[in-house]
A and B are shown apart, each in its own frame.
Chain A
Amino acid sequence: MQIYLPIAELPVNIFLILFMGIAVGFISGMFGIGGGFLMTPLLIFVGIAPAVAVATVASHIAASSFSGVTSYWRRRALDLALAMMLLAGGILGTLAGVWLFSVLRRIGQLDLTIALSYVVLLGAVGGLMITESARAIFRARSGRPAVVRRPGSHIWIHGLPFKLRFKQSRIYVSVIPVWAIGFFIGFVGAIMGIGGGFLLVPALIYLMRVPTNVVVGTSMVLTLVTMASATVMHAVSNHQVDAVLALILMVGGVIGAQFGARAGQRIRAEQLRLLLGILVMMVGLRFAYNIVVQPDDLFSVRVIGEL
């Protein structure tokens, strides 16, 4: 069944989009991530303009993360104070990202920037996750106990001033790295059309020493607010949010996420991280292939003004 998308200005198969929503939702529920890094490329692949894809996926991620936040909130498994501090940076980062998005769109370098960001970030994060989880699996196989990082171990970040105590996370850290992380996640999220959960979760665990039981819920609060505000900002500055497309994606996404979450509970944590690492790496490599191999068509056209 075809449905005409009012902003993307082309008809799409409603079941294809719904299926994409369910599939990405399944993965996002399984790994506790938003899934934007999969959804945005998929939408571009089916012919939706990158600008519309990025802006629309923001609202889709907002929906799936709200559903996640409510369930973590019921279990009190999130640190609201830490989330608010991350948000202070996140909102500024989103504003900067949406601004840069408009500029890049105007000068014709948006597609390349999106592709390069995917290659660098996904390649790096995917690579780290694969090596880290492979080591953990290898250790478990050989029967040696895992090397536990003691919560008290300090790195240079803990020497920074303006320290705050976050009770829920039981950490005492400077707000500067918290703001910086929030800013970075908001910034790349707005440009790449991703929530940034797959970046934020490792950053909070390894840099901030946030306990793993509150980290996913806290990350989802940040994702929810940055993506909801990115939706509004993209709507104001680029007019590229397609509400019809967003609704189909959301409905598919929240259904898929529920089944994904159940499937995820049956897999061991380090195996789950390895799978996610491979997935992230593959998406990054796909983008690398696109910009390194000579394209079929060297030319492209973009409408910059209507009369």
Chain B
Amino acid sequence: MIRALAVGLAFAMGLAAWPAGAQRLVTSLSTHRVQITANFTGAELVLFGSVERDAATVARPGSYDIVITVSGPRQTVVTFRKARVLGIWMNTDSRTFINAPSYLAVLANRPIAAIADADTLRRLQTGLEQTLLPQEVGGDIADVVPGDPFRQAFLRLKVERGLYREQVNAVTFLTPALFRTAIPLPDNVPTGAYEVDIKLFADGAMLARQTTALEIVKAGFEQFVADAARDYGFAYGLAAAMMAILTGWLASVAFRKD
């Protein structure tokens, strides 16, 4: 399974390298490290980029298209489906998605279907519908048809929670070669390492691609509590229980009548 993924990855990278030629992308992200502190209620990052063209390249008659894909740390996620059993609604069926991005934002300057043909988009995994979401099927890993109800439900639920999004007017061209976009991070954004993948298209073909990294971390007290809960479960539990006893004791002293 890991080898299959590695081969797939190498293949994708080979494809990415191939069309790169005369155009080059230069991008800048407002920050590469987002800190979640006690007053975190979401954030918005700004990405600027410019399309550089060497002297030998002729100017293209059509304008450029930009698709930016921001993906969060990978997770294994189960999607459950409820059905009525003996008058009660319970989870009866489920699918396990392997390596699904916890956060996925696809930002483009116009509808993705208009930027390139369906084959190209699928090969480059551009757009929510085109993103591979491999499922575990009886020990094997396979992607399913796009119309699969579990896949559709998974995408829909992620979109409802603000963790997946596809915005077709999110990239603005300031000049024909200079663009800007805002990457929205909701308040429930997962922490971890993010990848920002910027693709340049013109006339339905990808001309250049660039990736940059982004990190979302809990900071200060939030980080301390989360780390303690994960790494020192027993001590953390004891501390929480002691805190309960102390609070209860303080209350009984403060409100003591006799």
Contact = CB atoms under 8 A, between A and B. Distances in A.
B229 A235 contact: yes
Given A246-B244, A250-B248, 18 more contacts: A4-B39, A7-B229, A64-B248, A66-B245, A235-B229, A236-B237, A241-B236, A246-B243, A250-B247, A294-B89, A295-B82, A298-B81, A299-B156, A300-B79, A302-B77, A303-B77, A305-B76, A306-B76
A264 B248 CA distance: 20
Nearest to B75: A303
Contacts of A294: 84, 89
A302 B187 contact: no
B79 A247 contact: no
Interface residues of B, number: 65
Given A59-B243, A63-B244, A112-B90, A243 B225 contact: yes
A65 interface: yes
A59 B237 CA distance: 9
Contacts of B94: 108
A246 B239 CA distance: 12
Interface of A: 2-4, 6-7, 9-11, 59-60, 62-71, 74, 108-109, 112, 116, 227-229, 231-237, 239, 241, 243-244, 246-247, 250-251, 254-255, 257-258, 291-295, 297-307
B244 A62 contact: yes
Contact of A63 (B84, B187, B247): B247
Nearest to B248: A66
Given A62-B248, A112-B88, A295-B89, A233 B39 contact: no
Interface in B80-97: 80-84, 87-91, 94, 96
Interface stretch (B166-174, B194-202, B203-211, B250-258): B250-258
A65 B252 CA distance: 10
Given A6-B229, A7-B226, A304-B77, A299 B153 contact: yes
Nearest to A115: B88
